[in-house]
Chain A
Amino acid sequence: MANTGTPLVEMRDISIAFGGIKAVDHVTIDLHPGEVVGLLGHNGAGKSTLIKCLSGAYKADSGEIHINGAKVDINNPRDARAYNIETIYQTLALADNLNAASNLFLGREIVGAGGFLDDSAMEAETRKIMARLNPNFRKFNVPVSALSGGQRQSVAIARAVYFNAKILIMDEPTAALGPQETRMVAELIQELKKQGLGIFLIEHDIHAVMDLCDRAVVMKNGQRVGTVNVGEVTDEDILGMIIMGKKPAQAV
């Protein structure tokens, strides 16, 4: 892996605790352009919490975040978006009562003359991006609560990729999807990678990690067990890290 240049993202020595429980304990990870880094670990290992410090949902108690080598302050989701960090949450974080376009542009609405919402422009843009991501998508004028799991997922993905993300965080993007939709997401990840995005992928499916990721970071009890180049290890090595916290020789 050509991980020599300045990393796109570097999270250094991040710690965050909730009521005395150390959810993330001095963890350092990095991400390069055009790279997919898998984040693995049991439920409660601290993956989602760590990544929420990057997406602005939480604020780390200590540690630094660097984007393109420069130290940044991310205090809320708006800050994260300003650094082109986009997140697809496990829960999708969609407002069920709003339609696809309103969700896609939530917090970043297109406004026309006088500061009024330009719903038609937003719908037209939504139609364009959905034609690319999910050509079968037709339900533009209904609340997203009326959509299937896969359709909702494609709205969440569209929201993340529409705004020229440079850093994409995907928290179990395929957890609720069928085989065909899972394949679509995998193809999308490959395409985005080619465009030079850096992607953090939180994933439980070890095969998906082996297929999609360049590197994998394994966490356990809030601490980083190790980081491996996926090409240099076997499924068993990674499972050993997840389950036993055993660091193989190739790991750093």
Chain B
Amino acid sequence: MTNIPTTHAPQANDAQPGPVARFIRDTELDTRMLGMVGALLLIWASFHFYPVIAGVLSGNGLNWGSGLFITPRNLWNLSVQTSMTGIMATGMVLVIITRNIDLSVGSIVGVTGMVMGIVQVNFLPPLLGLGSPLIWIITVAIGIVLGALIGAFHGWLIAYRGIPSFIVTLGGMLVWRGAAFLTADGKTIAPMDATFGLLGGGPTGSVGAVGSWIVGLLGCVAVLWIIQAGRKTRTKHGFPQRPMWAEGVLAVLGCGVLIGAVLVVNAYIWPKGIVDAYVKTHPEVVIPEGGLQISTGFAIPVLIMVVVGILMTILMTRTRFGRYVFAIGGNPEAAALAGINTKWMTLKIFSLMGLLSGIAAVIASARLNAATNALGTLDELYVIASAVVGGTSLAGGVGTIYGAIIGALVMQSLQTGMVLIGYGDGSYRMIAVGTALVLAVYLDNLYRQKTK
């Protein structure tokens, strides 16, 4: 028992790997993720330079300024638009890993959004007084709990009553959309509570320059801590370490992305109209020469998505719950034989999906500053597409949280990009998104076959 092998298997091919392969091997970066990020950057570049090239071709000459995609304003918008789908996609990963599907998330957004609207507009103000700080807290809690309960009910039907998830959630999609209409007889509820509205983002619903720097620097500290903690565990068990230069590259990359993101969101300044309104309500503000410029910073829904993403990643990679999700997806029978209560797990997974839909409903209704019964329509398809584009396998057992969020970013980039290059009317956009979905899954199949 003393001669424990402590080295990883030697590479299968004896030939010295090329510099790129060596780089990937030493940094232990996920090649699939690199591919996805590469595709994302390619999409961004294409949308950005399309107007530039089109301008040259139509004889209007070269104008670098005509590219609109890679600008602080658009990237900031993109981040806010992605947050809702991204949050739900992290839950859809678990659902799909366990070989299920949830078609009802859009309708859950609809019904929880409506209930939250009625609660904060019709019920709470008479009880607590208009503008009470408790209103948004109670409203959000009700929305999240309601979402979780609806999800748990779906999970119960699926796990304990043996109805296929496709059918349960297809039924749920119709039932909850109908229920959303009935909650207020189809009326739109507006406006939302002022504090609640901040959760939807917008210039006032953002954390500003200082707040963004704090978030970014905390992120950098976390990156360095993770690298350090990783080294310590490897030492403890005698596993081989990454080379120092690889650790350095990872640290620089991680912190670089974070600081870059802070610079971008801080470069997006409040639009003039909002600044004027702000100055009117804050007469004490001294306006500097050249006008008041206020950095927007990270939007609150984006920070919510980041927190959800981190918590879900911890759940999936560091806890028994996550391990069992993967085990059920890989081999449900083996999971049951290992003593895992697969039915209870299924119920919990759907409940979590419902909870995340509730959070998405908070953001959606806050952003719209209104609750309508159409809130979240077709979201289920974008959420499923995001998870699948992000590498979640419909065959079960495979998927990552960060993949789903990048997938949501890809899907949202396509939609936004089509609008920016002038194909914003629904039909072209849908064609682009649909094509990208099928293409992404096809490319992923090729990748998996090649790396097998």
Interface positions of A (Cβ within 8 A of B): 55, 57, 76-78, 81, 87, 89, 91-98, 102, 106-109, 111, 115-117, 120-121, 123-124, 127-128, 131-132, 135, 138-141, 143, 146
Query: Which residue of B8, B238, B329 is within 8 Å of A97 (Cβ)?
Result: B329
Contact partner of A116 (CB less than 8 A), chosen from B4, B318, B338, B397, is B318
Q: A117-B323, A128-B1 are in contact. Are A107 and B338 (CB under 8 A)?
A: yes
Are the CB atoms of B239 and A123 closer together than 8 Å?
yes
* 12 residue pairs A–B, Cβ–Cβ below 8 Å: A76-B339, A78-B339, A81-B339, A93-B331, A94-B331, A97-B330, A97-B398, A117-B318, A120-B233, A120-B237, A124-B4, A141-B8
| Chain A proximity of B374: nearest CB distance (Å) | 38
Q: Is the CB of B9 within 8 A of A109?
A: no
Name the contact of A77 in the complex, choosing from B314, B336, B452 (C-beta under 8 A): B336
Q: Which of A57, A91, A106, A117: most chain B CB closer than 10 A?
A: A106
Bound Cα distance from A102 to B338, whole angstroms: 11
In angstroms, Cα B393 to Cα A22, docked, is 40
- Asked, given contacts A97-B397, A121-B237, whether A131 binds B4 with beta carbons under 8 Å apart, the answer is yes
Produce 1/0 per residue, B324-343, CB < 8 A to A.
00110111011111111000
Instruction: Assess whether B1 is in contact with A132, with CB atoms less than 8 Å apart.
Output: yes
Q: Does B3 contact A (CB under 8 A)?
A: yes
Is B126's CB within 8 Å of the partner chain A?
no
B16 interface hit (Cβ, 8 Å): no
Report yes or no: B331 in contact with A96, Cβ–Cβ below 8 A.
yes
Q: Is B320 an interface residue (CB 8 A)?
A: yes
CA distance A139 to B3 in the complex (A): 17
B280 within 8 A of A: no
Q: Which residue of B lies closest to A131 (CB)?
A: B4
Distance between Cα atoms of A61 and B117 in the complex (Å) = 54
How close is A111's CB to chain B, nearest CB, in angstroms?
Answer: 7
Residues in B1-55 with C-beta less than 8 Å from chain A: 1, 3-6, 8-9
Name the B residues within 8 Å of A76 (CB-CB). 339
Compute how far the CA of A131 lies from the CA of B333 in the bound complex, rounded to whole angstroms.
28
A98:B337 contact, CB within 8 angstroms: no
* 1/0 contact string of B224-239 vs chain A (CB within 8 Å): 0000000001101111
Knowing A116-B318, A139-B9, say if A93 contacts B338 (CB, 8 Å).
yes
Shortest distance between the CB of B235 and any CB in chain A (Å): 10
Rounded to whole Å, the gap between the CB of A87 and the closest CB of chain B is 7
Report the interface size class on chain B: 35 or more
Residue on B nearest A145 in the bound complex, by CB = B330
- A107 CB contact (under 8 Å) in B237, B238, B333, B340: B340
Nearest CB in chain B to that of A115: its residue = B319
Question: Can you name the residue of chain B whose Cβ is closest to the Cβ of A118?
Answer: B233
A87 to B319, CA, bound (A): 25
- Nearest Cβ distance between residue B314 and chain A, in whole angstroms? 8
| Known A-B contacts A89-B337, A94-B334, A97-B397; A123 and B237 likewise in contact (beta carbons under 8 Å) | yes
Contacts of A116 in B (CB 8 A): 314, 318-319
Q: Tell whether, in the assembled complex, residue A98 and residue B330 are in contact, meaning their CB atoms are under 8 Å apart.
A: yes
Q: A131 to chain B: closest CB distance in Å?
A: 5
Given A102-B323, A116-B319, A120-B239, verify A95-B334 contact (CB < 8 Å). yes
- Minimum CB–CB distance for A102 against chain B, Å: 6
Q: Complex formed: what's the CA distance from A152 to B227 in Å? A: 32
Bound-state CA distance A92–B9 (Å) is 24
Q: Which residue of B lies closest to A102 (CB)?
A: B323
User: Would you list the 8 A-B pairs with minimal beta carbon distance, nearest first?
Assistant: A95-B330, A97-B330, A78-B339, A107-B338, A97-B397, A93-B334, A138-B9, A107-B339
Q: B1 contacts A106, CB within 8 Å?
A: no
List residues of chain B with CB within 8 A of the CB of A117. Answer: 317-320, 323
**Which single residue of chain B is at the shortest CB-CB distance from A143?**
B330
Known: A81-B339, A94-B334. A111 touches B5 (CB 8 A): no
Docked-complex contact A124 and B237, CB < 8 angstroms: yes
Q: Mark B285-314, 1 if CB is under 8 A from A, else 0.
A: 000000000000000000000000000001
Q: Are B337 and A87 in contact (CB under 8 A)?
A: yes
Note all chain B residues with C-beta closer than 8 A to A95: 326-327, 329-331, 334-335, 397
Interface centre among A55, A57, A95, A135 (most CB of B within 10 A): A95
Interface centre among A87, A97, A102, A139 (most CB of B within 10 A): A97
Residues of A within 8 Å of B333, CB to CB, are 91, 93
B320-A111 in contact (CB<8A): yes
A120 touches B319 (CB 8 A): no
Q: B396: nearest residue on chain A (CB-CB)?
A: A97
Q: Which one, B3, B239, B314, B323, contacts A109 given CB within 8 A?
A: B323
A106 touches B234 (CB 8 A): no
A residues within 8 A CB of B319? Answer: 115-117
Residues of A within 8 A of B3 (CB): 131
B4 near A127 (CB under 8 angstroms)?
yes
| Cα of A213 to Cα of B331 in the assembled complex, Å | 32
| A55 nearest CB neighbor, chain B only | B337
By the criterion CB–CB under 8 Å, are B323 and A106 in contact?
yes
Contacts of A57 on B, CB cut-off 8 Å?
A: 336-337
Asked if residues B1 and A120 are in contact (CB atoms below 8 Å), the reply is no
Partner pick for B5 among A106, A115, A127, CB 8 A cutoff:
A127
Residues of B234-279 whose CB lies within 8 A of A: 234, 236-239
- Find chain A residues with CB under 8 A from B320 CB: 109, 111, 115, 117
